[in-house]
């Protein structure tokens, strides 16, 4: 009964490729997020969606395009991957203003 699940768990790919990460939550939350955690473990918000609408975009490059087909899903597509994109990407969901529930993360390695 995973509350927030994201796939894949590991993603190893070459520079310049395009890849997607999927996220689903079964908590009935309206709000979903994408975070990036770098090698120093600093966690930074990338996007916030509420009811399928983009609310927050934290100056993320245009190569990153989130898509929310419905309230339970928020996918992240990344074009033209760069070395600096190597990180762990976390999906989360919450009620507005409430505590966040995190997925287990997707470890992206760019060769």
Instruction: Report the SS3 class of residue 83.
Output: helix
Single residue of 67, 72, 77, 102 touching other proteins by CB under 8 A? 102
7 lies in the site for other proteins, by CB under 8 A: no
Sheet with strand 19-25: strands edge to edge: 4-7, 19-25, 73-78, 64-70
Using CB under 8 A as the criterion, what x/- string covers residues 21-50 for binding other proteins? Answer: ----------x-x-x-----xxxxx--x-x
At closest approach, how far in Å is the CB of 87 from other proteins? Answer: 14
The footprint of other proteins on residues 60-79 (CB under 8 A) is none
What's the per-residue H, E or C state across 12-73? EECCCCCEEEEEEECCCCCEEEEEEECCCCCEEEEEEEECCEEEEECCCCCCEEEEEEECCE
Single residue of 11, 36, 90, 108 touching other proteins by CB under 8 A? 90
Are 35 and 89 in contact by the 8 Å Cβ rule? The answer is yes
State the number of binding residues for other proteins (CB under 8 A): 25
At closest approach, how far in Å is the CB of 16 from other proteins? Answer: 28
Report the C-alpha gap between 13 and 45 in whole angstroms: 23
Interaction site with other proteins (CB under 8 A): 4, 31, 33, 35, 41-45, 48, 50, 55-56, 90, 92, 96-105
């Amino acid at each position: 009964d995973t509350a927030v699940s994201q796939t894949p768990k590991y993603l190893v790919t070459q520079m310049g490729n395009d890849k997607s990460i999927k996220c689903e939550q079964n908590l009935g939350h309206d709000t979903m997020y994408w975070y990036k955690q770098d090698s120093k473990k600093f966690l930074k918000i990338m996007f916030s969606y509420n009811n399928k609408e983009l609310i927050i975009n934290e100056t993320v490059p245009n190569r990153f395009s989130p898509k929310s087909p419905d309230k339970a899903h928020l996918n992240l597509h990344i074009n033209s991957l760069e070395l600096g994109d190597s990180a762990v990407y976390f999906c989360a969901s919450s009620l507005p203003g409430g505590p966040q529930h995190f997925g287990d993360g997707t470890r992206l390695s760019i060769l």
